Chain A
Amino acid sequence: MTRLPDRIVNAWRKSLDFLTGRRLAIYPKTKEEGAFLHAHALARAGDLKGAVATLNGIVATAPDVAAAFEAQGEFLDMLGQTEKAMSLYEASRKLKKGLRPGPPDRPFALRRASRATAEIASYSSVIQNVKHRVLPLIARGNAFLTEGQPAEALVDYEAALKLKPGLPDVLGLKAEALLMLGQFAQAAATFDSACTAQPRNTDFLSGRAIARLALGRLEDADVDWRHQFDLLPRELASARACVALRLADYERALPELERALEKEPHDPYWQLYRMTALGRLGHPLSISFPELKTWPAPLLRLHVKTPSAEELLAQADNRQRKVEALFQLGVLALRDDPAEARRRFDEVVSKASPSMIEYAAARHELVRLGS
Chain B
Amino acid sequence: MFSVILYGRNDSHGYNLHKRAAISFNAIAEVMSDPDDEILFVDYNTPDDHPTFPEAIQDTLTDKAKKVMRIFRVRPEQHVHLKARTHLVALEAQSRNVALRRSNPRNRWILYTNTDMLLVPRNEKESLSDILGAIPDGFYQVPRFELPEMLWEAAFDRRDPAGNLAKLRDWSKRFHLNQVVLNHMPMRYDALGDFQAALREDMFAIHGFNEEMLLGWHCDSNLAARLGLYRGTVDTLVDKVFGYHCDHTRVAAANNKGRQTKMNDHDQFLWQVSTPYLPDQAENWGWPDLAIEEIRLDRDTSFERFAAGIGAAIQPASEPYRTTNLEWHLFNDLTYDLRHTLPFVCDQVLTYPRNSALMLVGTRADFLSHFAIAWRAMGFTGPILVPTECEGLPFDTPGVEAGSFADLLRRADMFIFEFGLATQGIDEPVRIGRSTAPVDEERLKVASRLFRQAASLEEETRPEGRRLPRRFIGVNVIYNRFWPLFTDYVSANINPFCVQVLAGNPRIDPSMKGKVLRFRGRHAI
Contact with A along B218-240 (1 / 0, CB 8 A): 00000001001111110010110
B-binding segment of A114-122, A313-321, A362-370 = A114-122
Which of B138, B225, B271 has the largest number of chain A CB atoms within 10 A? Answer: B271
A85 touches B184 (CB 8 A): no
- A346 proximal to B (CB < 8 A): no
Contacting residue for B239 out of A73, A130, A133, A235, CB 8 A: A73
Contact with A along B134-148 (1 / 0, CB 8 A): 011110000000000
For B233, the chain A residues whose CB sits under 8 A away are: 67, 112, 114, 116, 118-119
Contacting residue for B138 out of A96, A118, A130, A169, CB 8 A: A96
A93-B136, A109-B232, A112-B232 known; A134-B272 Cβ under 8 A: yes
A167 touches B274 (CB 8 A): yes
A161 to chain B, nearest CB (A): 10
For B137, the chain A residues whose CB sits under 8 A away are: 101
- A198 proximal to B (CB < 8 A): yes
A135 touches B274 (CB 8 A): yes
A130 touches B232 (CB 8 A): no
For A347, the chain B residues whose CB sits under 8 A away are: none
- A108 proximal to B (CB < 8 A): yes
Chain A residues 222-260 with CB under 8 Å of chain B are: 235
User: What is the CA–CA distance of A130 and B183 in the complex, to the nearest angstrom?
Assistant: 12
Chain B residues 157-213 with CB under 8 Å of chain A are: 184-186, 204
For A135, the chain B residues whose CB sits under 8 A away are: 186, 225, 229, 270-274
For B274, the chain A residues whose CB sits under 8 A away are: 134-135, 138, 160, 164, 167, 169-170
A24 to chain B, nearest CB (A): 16
A77 touches B239 (CB 8 A): yes
A142 touches B229 (CB 8 A): yes
Do most interface residues of chain B lie in helix, strand or loop, or is the interface mixed? loop
Contact with B along A99-126 (1 / 0, CB 8 A): 0010000001100101010110011011
User: What is the CA–CA distance of A170 and B233 in the complex, to the nearest angstrom?
Assistant: 18
- A15 proximal to B (CB < 8 A): no
- B279 proximal to A (CB < 8 A): yes
For A119, the chain B residues whose CB sits under 8 A away are: 185, 232-233
A70-B236, A135-B270, A135-B271 known; A122-B135 Cβ under 8 A: no
- B474 proximal to A (CB < 8 A): no
B231 touches A112 (CB 8 A): yes
- A143 proximal to B (CB < 8 A): yes
Contacting residue for B230 out of A86, A89, A108, CB 8 A: A108
B185 touches A93 (CB 8 A): no
B236 touches A125 (CB 8 A): no
A198 touches B239 (CB 8 A): no
**Total count of chain B residues near the partner, CB < 8 A:** 27
- B276 proximal to A (CB < 8 A): yes
B232 touches A116 (CB 8 A): yes
A108-B229, A130-B184, A139-B229 known; A86-B271 Cβ under 8 A: no
B184 touches A125 (CB 8 A): yes
For A146, the chain B residues whose CB sits under 8 A away are: 232
User: What is the CA–CA distance of A89 and B122 in the complex, to the nearest angstrom?
Assistant: 13
- B12 proximal to A (CB < 8 A): no
Do most interface residues of chain A lie in helix, strand or loop, or is the interface mixed? helix
Chain B residues 305-361 with CB under 8 Å of chain A are: none
- B427 proximal to A (CB < 8 A): no
Contact with A along B275-312 (1 / 0, CB 8 A): 11001000000000000000000000000000000000
User: What is the CA–CA distance of A74 and B238 in the complex, to the nearest angstrom?
Assistant: 8
User: What is the CA–CA distance of A134 and B268 in the complex, to the nearest angstrom?
Assistant: 10
For A138, the chain B residues whose CB sits under 8 A away are: 229, 274
A320 to chain B, nearest CB (A): 20
For B275, the chain A residues whose CB sits under 8 A away are: 169
**How many cross-chain pairs have Cβ atoms below 8 Å apart between A and B?**
80
A74-B238, A85-B239, A134-B272 known; A142-B184 Cβ under 8 A: no
- B267 proximal to A (CB < 8 A): yes
Minimal Cβ-Cβ distance residue in A for B178: A78
A89 touches B185 (CB 8 A): no
- A97 proximal to B (CB < 8 A): yes
User: What is the CA–CA distance of A198 and B233 in the complex, to the nearest angstrom?
Assistant: 26
A108 touches B276 (CB 8 A): yes
For B270, the chain A residues whose CB sits under 8 A away are: 135
**Total count of chain A residues near the partner, CB < 8 A:** 41
- A129 proximal to B (CB < 8 A): yes
Contacting residue for A134 out of B136, B236, B271, CB 8 A: B271
User: What is the CA–CA distance of A129 and B183 in the complex, to the nearest angstrom?
Assistant: 12
For B204, the chain A residues whose CB sits under 8 A away are: 235
B181 to chain A, nearest CB (A): 13
User: What is the CA–CA distance of A119 and B231 in the complex, to the nearest angstrom?
Assistant: 11
Chain A residues 260-291 with CB under 8 Å of chain B are: none
For A170, the chain B residues whose CB sits under 8 A away are: 274
User: What is the CA–CA distance of A84 and B311 in the complex, to the nearest angstrom?
Assistant: 64
A122 to chain B, nearest CB (A): 4
B272 touches A133 (CB 8 A): yes
Which of B135, B233, B236 has the largest number of chain A CB atoms within 10 A? Answer: B233
A163 to chain B, nearest CB (A): 9
Contact with B along A152-184 (1 / 0, CB 8 A): 000000001000100101100000000000000
A180 to chain B, nearest CB (A): 16
B229 touches A96 (CB 8 A): no
Minimal Cβ-Cβ distance residue in A for B180: A78
User: What is the CA–CA distance of A131 and B175 in the complex, to the nearest angstrom?
Assistant: 39
Which of B136, B138, B273 has the largest number of chain A CB atoms within 10 A? Answer: B136
B135 touches A93 (CB 8 A): yes
User: What is the CA–CA distance of A85 and B238 in the complex, to the nearest angstrom?
Assistant: 11
A269 to chain B, nearest CB (A): 16
User: What is the CA–CA distance of A170 and B274 in the complex, to the nearest angstrom?
Assistant: 7
For B135, the chain A residues whose CB sits under 8 A away are: 93
B184 touches A129 (CB 8 A): yes
User: What is the CA–CA distance of A77 and B136 in the complex, to the nearest angstrom?
Assistant: 21
User: What is the CA–CA distance of A288 and B274 in the complex, to the nearest angstrom?
Assistant: 43
Chain B residues 37-59 with CB under 8 Å of chain A are: none
For A67, the chain B residues whose CB sits under 8 A away are: 233
Given known contacts A89-B239, A134-B272, what 9 new A-B pairs fall within 8 Å (CB)?
A74-B239, A97-B136, A125-B184, A130-B184, A135-B272, A135-B273, A139-B229, A146-B232, A169-B275
Interface pairs (27), CB distance under 8 Å: A74-B236, A77-B238, A77-B239, A85-B239, A96-B136, A97-B136, A112-B233, A114-B232, A114-B233, A116-B232, A116-B233, A119-B232, A122-B184, A123-B185, A130-B184, A130-B271, A134-B274, A135-B271, A136-B185, A138-B229, A138-B274, A139-B185, A139-B228, A142-B232, A160-B274, A167-B274, A198-B279
7 closest cross-chain pairs (CB), A and B? A112-B232, A133-B271, A169-B275, A89-B239, A122-B185, A97-B136, A169-B274
